[in-house]
Amino acid sequence: MRILRQIAGEFANFAGEPTPHPTSVALPALVEEVLSPYRAGQGLRVEVDWRMPADLPAVRIDRTLVGRALTNLIENAWQAMPQRGAFAVSAHAEATTVSVTFEDTGVGMDPAALSRAFEPYFSTKTAGSGLGLANAKRNIELCGGSIAIASTVGQGTTVTVTLPRAAAGAAATA
């Protein structure tokens, strides 16, 4: 039943064109909020390497849209590591952007799958709708950001999300 609700939600999210409501957001807090249920639910199956600086500048995004995108990315990473694995989260700031990188040691994707990764309804898995990465890309881009993916079969996948920095001095919400 859970998978049916998830699929229905993904179709609904993809069908609608949300209007972003950007605010200043502390990215480490948002990533931790999205990641913590996975960490708690998986015990020691996936080792998490947290490399996000505490003093990372805030980003100007729609917290809900980016939170959904990050959920899709983390869900994909966890599903790509069915037995055991490692998941690294890192971030760095540039003059006008902040990038967060997610690296997993999962099954990876071949070049053909990688070239179609963001296409709606494309999936390398037997379960799911094939809308997770398409939704993630759309939500990130609606917030003025970008997303890039690199993968090697048998070695894992790296996803980098780049988001616009908030104005200096803007109070960030957690």
**In the chain, what are the domain boundaries?**
2-16+43-164
CATH 3.30.1490.20, applies to 2-16+43-164: no
Q: Name the burial class of residue 62, with classes exposed (0-12), middle (13-18) and buried (19+) by CB atoms within 10 angstroms of its CB.
A: buried
What predicted TM-score, i.e. pTM, was given to this entire model? Answer: 0.84
Torsion 126-128-134-137 (CA) sign? negative
Q: Is 150 helix (H, G, I), strand (E, B) or coil?
A: strand
Q: What gap in Å lies between CA 73 and CA 86, rounded to an integer? A: 15
Query: Tens of pLDDT along the chain (174 residues)?
Result: 445 455 555 555 555 678 899 999 999 999 999 999 988 876 678 999 999 998 899 999 999 999 999 999 999 999 889 889 999 999 999 999 999 999 999 999 999 988 888 888 767 665 666 677 889 999 999 999 999 999 999 999 999 999 999 987 666 676
Per-residue pLDDT at 1: 47
What is the pLDDT, as a whole number, of residue 170? 65
Q: Which of 51, 25, 13, 37 is nearest to 145 (CA)?
A: 25
Which amino acid would we find at residue 28? P
From its phi and psi, is residue 35 left (phi > 0), alpha (psi between -120 and 50) or beta?
alpha
pLDDT, position 174: 64
The pLDDT of residue 43 is: 63
Q: How far is CA 25 from each of CA 59, 100, 104, 159, rounded to the nearest angstrom?
A: 5, 14, 25, 20
| Tokens 């998941």, located at residue | 87
Q: What pLDDT does residue 114 have?
A: 85
DSSP 128: S
Contact yes or no for 151/143 (Cβ under 8 A): no
